[in-house]
Amino acid sequence: MKAKHIQHLYRRIGFGILPSTLNELSKKSKKEVIQNLIISSKNVTPLEVDTSEIIAIVSGNMMMNSKLDPETRRKIQKLSRKKQLELNVSWIERLTHSSEILREKMTLFWANHFVCEDNSITYIQQFNNTLRKHALGDFRDFVNAISKEAAMTKYLNTKQNKKQKPNENFARELMELFTLGVGHYTEEDIKESAKAFTGYSHNLRGEFVFKKRAHHEGQKTFFGKSGNFSGEDIINIILEQKQCAKYICEKIYRYFVNDTLDNKYVNVMTDVFYKDYNIENLMRFVLQSDWFYDEKNIGTKIKSPIELLVGMKTLVPTEFKNPKQLLYIQRLLGQTLLDPPNVAGWKGGKSWIDSNTIVLRLKLPSLLLNEAYISKAKDGQEDAGMQIKKEFFKKNYGKRFKAEANWKYFNTQFKNVRISEFQQHLLACEVNETTQQYLNTLEKVSKKEYCVQLMSLPEYQMC
């Protein structure tokens, strides 16, 4: 398999690839590379932080069959906030170091599809691992599992969905955001399907509970069919619509291939997915297709903030002195794991970049890896358009960005890579003529300095 295509593959289904791995995979065929990726992602390794203290408090209350008093509730909330920070940091580390690369990237994708948030670490950790468990599995099982998650029943008010007064929030988002897209259902479909999900609830431990007395028994008419439908029945009827397969394939195409849809390929993907709704089979088909590696798809997507951060950490392992700093950077860049902006999630694409975030994005490598210093060009050369003063960034961000970069690891990984080859390893797209002229004038003191400089280019924002 061509090195360029392997790099493209790993930037899309992961966060980059190191030279040693690239050399090894270059000896294999495309089919072998992709099969190995899929096999390595067969395992499901839950992402967990220690919540034993919270579980003990909740279990004690359940045994006494009592409600949480205000003081206990506040204690749990305080512990949850601390543990959510730990889960955020652990997720970043998992993305950086996991051997289950495809499963973890798919988990990140699904987290912005089945969007959910909660202030309970127990519920949100369980939800995150449900995404991970089903990330490459059967989409039918996936949707059913999501519909019964404690975090989702709280987030979209399914817990308040009772036969006396059905709540339509989950039913609406199920079709609008999770399966079909806007315009492929009626308001009557929402009303009728909401009745089928009445009685969905959970206990304090986050386990699904079906409250039969709150469930609407009786006829419902949905998509032209009538019957005493359950929530599972509604999901089955939705998946009978080929639009469901198409909607998911469009989102996967935008995320993994190109922000601009090519209907020819989306339609072929849809045919593959509609057969059995098997996510692994769909991803194998996409990654093995020649069109995935077309030039128009290489280096054309803007990295999300998480892709940018994890990509940097993949090349140069970076440890933050204070975990809150990592959270702070995510907020500044506009994507904080476990804290989506709304039920529709992050828009992605060009929305990642604005006048504020682009300046920070370009300066971030030098702030985290090189104490805010960018190597200088020879006399008379500008700093690649970087007009922001080092002192300004030191004052505004320096104290909040205390990170230790493992350059020893980087030097080991790039020991046999000539500095003239760095561009093809770090950049997904070609640089323009002006930038290339600038790079040619750099005083290439070390591989470290050149790495920071390449990461500080606009081209590094692309994958």
Are 36 and 10 a contacting pair, CB within 8 Å? no
Mean pLDDT of 352-381: 78
Could you tell me the pLDDT band of residue 379, with boundaries at 50, 70 and 90? very low
Q: How many domains does the chain have?
A: 1
The residue-averaged pLDDT of 214-235 equals: 98
Residue-number span of the structural domain to which 423 is assigned? 305-461
Q: Is residue 374 part of a domain?
A: yes
For 74-131, what is each residue's pLDDT tens digit?
888 999 999 999 999 999 999 999 999 999 999 999 999 999 999 999 999 999 999 9
Structural domain contains residue 12: no
**What's the mean pLDDT when you consider all of the chain?**
92
Residue pair 291/263 in contact (Cβ under 8 Å)? The answer is no
pLDDT-based confidence at residue 61 (cuts at 50, 70, 90)? confident
In a domain, 164, yes or no: no
How does pLDDT run across 17-58, given as a tens digit for each residue?
Answer: 999 999 999 999 999 999 999 999 999 999 999 999 988 888
pLDDT band (50, 70, 90) for residue 402: confident
Is 319 among the domain residues?
Answer: yes
Residue with the two structure tokens 């709540």: 167
Residue 11 confidence class, pLDDT cut points 50, 70, 90: very high
d(CA 147, CA 152): 7
User: Residue 388: what pLDDT?
Assistant: 46
pLDDT at residue 56, rounded to an integer = 86
Give a yes or no: residue 445 inside a domain.
Answer: yes
pTM over 0.85: yes
- End-to-end CA, the chain: 19
Query: Does residue 364 belong to any structural domain of this protein?
Result: yes
What pLDDT sits at residue 387? 44
**Residue 407 within any structural domain of the chain:** yes
Token pair belonging to 290: 């020649």
